[in-house]
A = this chain, B = another copy of it.
Amino acid sequence: MVAKIIDGKVVADRIRAEIASSVADYTEKTGYAPGLGVVLVGDDPASAMYVRMKRRACESVGMVSKAEILPASATQEEVENIVRQYNADPNIHGILVQLPMPDHIDEEAVLNLISIEKDVDGIHPINVGMLGMRGREPSFTPATPTGSMILIEETGVQIEGKQAVVVGRSNIVGLPISLMLMNANATVTTCHSRTKDLQGYLKNADIVVAAIGRAEFIKGEWLKEGAIVIDVGSNSVDDPTAKKGYRYVGDVEFESAKDVAGYITKVPGGVGPMTITILLQNTIKAAWNLIEA
């Protein structure tokens, strides 16, 4: 079979239109636009690019974004003070700390400072705990796994009762999407670097989420015929034919996987466009929460 492509761009655009409409309502009602506060420490070019993308995305839906960019030599105190300012700022509804931060900064301490009401990244431990626990609802769920779940739902295939395999167990993707799939009544196996017989698990998986950061690691012949394959990876590989000399590929070998999977996302154009979209969605939610509280 040839897999149907789950087009993250199309889904993201649809959700962004809804967000823009909600932002317009909010701005009309309150007289001010919802705001996202970003903290960036150091001059990593990729991080700087992500911050610019987030600013443009905010503007595209009518939100305000503010970025505090500190030098790599910034102290823990200076970074924490930015978070404290954002916590106290009534015009900032969501706070995003761009990771990774320089080695001398205690990331955990910075992240734990973010007010729960403004944790639009959904990675405060209390939000992760609530995400996992039955009968609890986190204030926010993290952007990439939430976007991935929406793409799975986009197929129309019922998740309940399905065998799901998550490859990777990071705090920002593998762990939370394992919990989300469990909440959706899938039977979830979380695989990682110490897993033996990954292929045995994949061969039975109706849903595969790949989030390991290894270029084209998962091959088509490892997959179950008809599986839903969500590729969270974004790895740059050399490509002399590309203008920049490199291109991005996922954690799944798309060319072989598309002939086996039932549904598959591409890289780029799959999960990527969803991530910033969910960040925007969480920020407008935070803004509404504030005035409805």
Contacts and interface: CB of A to CB of B under 8 A. Distances in A.
Closest 6 CB pairs of A and B: A125-B129, A129-B129, A128-B129, A189-B189, A185-B194, A187-B195
Interface stretch (A16-24, A92-100, A149-157, A169-177): A169-177
A187 B182 contact: no
A132 B161 CA distance: 23
A292 interface: no
Interface stretch (A133-141, A217-225, A265-273): A133-141
Contacts of A182: 169, 190, 192
A215 interface: no
Number of copies: 2
Interface in A91-126: 108, 124-126
Contacts of A189: 187-189
A132 B134 contact: no
Nearest to A179: B132
A169 B31 CA distance: 46
Contacts of A160: 194
Contacts of A134: 169-171, 175
B130 A125 contact: yes
Interface string A179-200: 1001001011111101111001
A64 to B, nearest CB: 30
Interface string A197-234: 10011001000000000000000000000000000000
A127 interface: yes
Nearest to A137: B108
A124 B135 contact: no
A150 B129 CA distance: 23
A200 B187 CA distance: 12
Given A126-B129, A128-B128, A134-B170, 17 more contacts: A125-B129, A128-B133, A129-B129, A132-B132, A132-B179, A133-B175, A134-B171, A134-B175, A136-B171, A160-B194, A161-B194, A161-B195, A163-B196, A163-B197, A182-B190, A182-B192, A187-B189
Contacts of A204: 200
10 contacts: A125-B125, A126-B126, A128-B133, A129-B131, A161-B196, A163-B196, A169-B182, A182-B192, A187-B190, A187-B196
A192 to B, nearest CB: 7
A131 B104 CA distance: 24
Nearest to A197: B163
A135 B108 contact: yes
Contacts of A129: 124-132
A73 B265 CA distance: 55
